Amino acid sequence: MNKKIALAGAFVLATLGVFAQENDSIRNLNDVVVSDSKFALSKEKSGKVIVKITAEDLKKKQGQSLAAVLSTVAGVEINGNQSRTGKDLGYYIRGGRNHQTLILIDGIPVTDASGTNLAFDLRLLPIEQVEKIEILKGASSTLYGSGAAAGVINIILKKSAKKPIQGNAYMNMGTQETVNHKNNYEPLEYNQGVSLGGTFEKFNYSATLNSTIADGISEAKPMNDNDVFESDAFSRVNSVVKIGFTPTKKLSFDFFANYDRMKNEFDGGSYSDDLTNVSLSEQYRVGFSPKYKYEKGEFVINSGANSITRDFFSYGSPSDYKSKSVNADVYNKYQIFSQLFLVTGAQFQFHEMSNGSLYGSIAKELAKFNMIDPYVTAVFNSSFGFNLNAGARYNLHSKYGNNLVFNFNPSYSFSGFPVKILASFSTAYVTPSLYQLYSPYGDLDLSPEQDATIEAGFEVDLLDKKLNINAVAFHREEKDAIGFDLITYKYFNVDGKNNAKGIETMVSYSVTDNVKFNANYTFTELEKQSRILNPKHKVNASLDIAATSRLSFNASYQFVADRTTQYNVYDPITWESITITEILKDYQLVNANVRYALVKDKLNVFFFSDNILNKDFMEARGYSAKGRNFKVGFNFLF
């Protein structure tokens, strides 16, 4: 299939109204979501574009990374998900960038305050620890604060078992191949883990340990296929401990502690092999979340703190980055009457960083700021189908003063006809990161970015809810967007406004109880080209077949259109820096997964193959991408 055929197929999907969906759970309008109000709400009464990736969906994608799974969602591109295991990732929701996407783990924001844009590194989190995911697309600063301009990814980790004691052990191994460099399909990626948990009357607990190692692929891609670059190794260790106490039906306390360690070899840049570059990242996270339910509402405190250390040895010299972040979100839901409830809250955030290297240092006494944001959201669900979610947040920033953001989100579900229409207008506020302010490449005079998003769409259930169709169009306007000048090597505010617009079309169809089809098409256009690798057109499709009660199949297809990238070269005569724009060609991927229950509900095995057609492509200019690879594994419940 070539590009024209793929785009023609996408056009037919859109014009015929065959709109894709990433997972089965979206099909049911009565599904429950929490991301757009912070409390459980029937999806029928939600007016936002929320995609749920359930535990069942994750089973169908065994063998894929968290980044690869997220990248199948309409409107979401995780650049680097098809590259070497340790490749850094770019998060692009609706054409946005990392600093416009907020990552939550169990509802608590996670950030790296020493990172370029405060973004959390998804490479730190193994997918085996994840229970489900909610993706909230569109400006969400009213509920979640600075950084939620394009969307929110809420990752919910696995919880304690209902039994007094229950364990789970898993292991999988896979090949590490590029199209042009063969390792004879030798297993070079190993992932294993064990968990133990349970519930004793009023107490619950869980402990999880994971280990991953991978080798065999160079981060940088050789310019000549006959050249052989040294492979770059990746290793990771993760542990999570959770303890819960429920003294009464109304009151509960949850604690967690988390340690992540990642070691990663990397190269000198695009098409540039380097034998000595290595990074070591360590993260410690702790948190406390008490909840109290009363007759007309619920009171919640979500709090967490993390400390991250990143040590680098690159270009012959060492450097280190250290950061600390604290987040406390206190909010209350109060039901004024049966059709109206109010969410009021206040969020406190503190971030600090330090950096030391031969080229300069940043003192933690200097590089710090905090935010205190009171907010309110009202949710009205009428008896005749009209729903409204509206709210406002007042940002109090220690460096940037005060700022107001708001959202207005009506929707309507027709009585007697399975159609829901929705619209929203939301504003967002994104402050520069500490690195963008205080690093040698920073500018203390940077202004915060201000965004506004408008969207409208519909969702419909047909054929006794076997067929779900939905489509959303959006337009986002960015003012004072934060960019990076490739000539001066400085962060700056882009003059004027930058607009992003697009359409997301989605469908889910249950052919029978055992055969299900899902697909999606995304169109995204940026008014001003930038360095982000976001495709204008993207198509995902998957087919799930439960052949027997024990044997299941999944086949998936992905088309990613041309992407624009920019880089700098120096004129050999004048030595002036010249910015070059290059087009990365489109690519297509076909993947397959087979699962079999050797012992039902106890022992499962899987076989996964990605890029079955062995397509040669680049996600990022000058960096390797995976060719045809295989992975096998098992999961044992005891």
Q: What is the CATH number of the domain that holds 144?
A: 2.40.170.20
Which token pair is 579?
A: 């910015």
Flag whether 411 is in a domain.
yes
Burial class (CB in 10 A: 0-12, 13-18, 19+), 513: exposed
Average per-residue pLDDT in the chain? 90
User: With bands split at pLDDT 50, 70 and 90, how would you rate the model's confidence at 21?
Assistant: very low
Per-residue pLDDT at 443 exceeds 70: yes
Whole-number pLDDT of residue 14: 37
Measured CA to CA, the distance from residue 64 to residue 126 in angstroms comes to 10
Alpha-carbon span 304 to 513, nearest angstrom: 42
Q: Is 189 within the bounds of a domain?
A: no
Share of the chain above pLDDT 90, in %: 74
- Is the four-CA dihedral 22, 28, 32, 35 of positive or negative sign? positive
Token digits for 133? Answer: 């995911």
Neighbours of 555 (CB within 10 A): 15
Dump the DSSP string for 556-586. EEEEE--EEEEEEEE-TTT--EEEEEEEEPP
More confident position, 344 or 578: 344
For 90-109, write each residue's pLDDT tens digit: 998 998 888 899 999 999 99
Domain span including residue 425: 32-159+227-233+248-258+266-637
Residue 225: in which H helix or E strand, if any? none
For the segment 26-36, what is each residue's pLDDT rounded down to a tens digit? 334 347 877 78
Residue 174 CB-density burial (10 A; 0-12 exposed, 13-18 middle, 19+ buried): buried
Q: What is the mean pLDDT of residues 612-623?
A: 93
Q: What is the CA radius of gyration of the chain?
A: 24
284 Cβ contact partners less than 8 Å away, ≥ 6 residues apart: 257, 258, 259, 306, 307, 308
Structure letter (DSSP) for residue 229: P
Q: Six-digit token pair at 399?
A: 């460096």
Q: Please tell me the number of Cα atoms within 13 Å of 412 on its side-chain side.
A: 4
3-state secondary structure of 81: coil
Given a cut of 50, whether residue 113 has pLDDT beyond it is yes
Q: Residue 434: enclosing H or E segment and its boundaries? A: helix 434-438
Q: Is the pLDDT of residue 57 over 90?
A: yes
Number of structural domains the chain divides into? 1
Cβ atoms of 216 and 188 within 8 Å: the answer is yes
Look at residue 286 and tell me if it is in a domain. Answer: yes
Identify the three-state secondary structure at position 3: helix
How far is CA 573 from each of CA 133, 319, 489, 567, rounded to the nearest angstrom? Answer: 53, 33, 21, 19
**Of 171-185, 283-297, 312-326, 440-454, minimum mean pLDDT range:** 171-185
Q: Domain for residue 276, yes or no?
A: yes
Find where tokens 């500490």 sit.
Answer: 434
Tokens encoding 154: 């809420």
Q: Are residues 533 and 563 in contact, defined by beta-carbon separation less than 8 angstroms?
A: yes
CB 47 within 8 A of CB 422: yes
- CA 144 – CA 343 distance, rounded (Å): 13
Residue 310 has pLDDT above 50, yes or no: yes
Q: Is the pTM of this model over 0.75?
A: yes
Question: Are 629 and 609 in contact, with CB atoms under 8 Å apart?
Answer: yes
Q: Could you read off the pLDDT of 191-235 as tens digits, one per residue?
A: 999 999 999 999 999 999 999 999 999 999 998 878 889 999 999
Calpha distance 4→128 (Å, rounded): 37
Give the per-residue pLDDT at 565. 84
Residue 148 CA to residue 334 CA, distance in Å, equals 25
**591 in any annotated domain:** yes
With cut-offs at 50, 70 and 90, classify the pLDDT of residue 531. Answer: low
Quote the CA–CA distance of 61 and 54 in Å, as a whole number.
Answer: 11
Query: 474: closest CA among 130, 18, 13, 48?
Result: 48
Would you say residue 192 lies in a domain?
Answer: no
Locus of tokens 């953001």:
405
Four-residue CA torsion sign, 530, 533, 539, 541: negative
Single out the residue of 572, 575, 494, 576 nearest to residue 531, CA to CA.
494
Residue at 5 is within a domain:
no
> For residue 574, what pLDDT is reported?
74
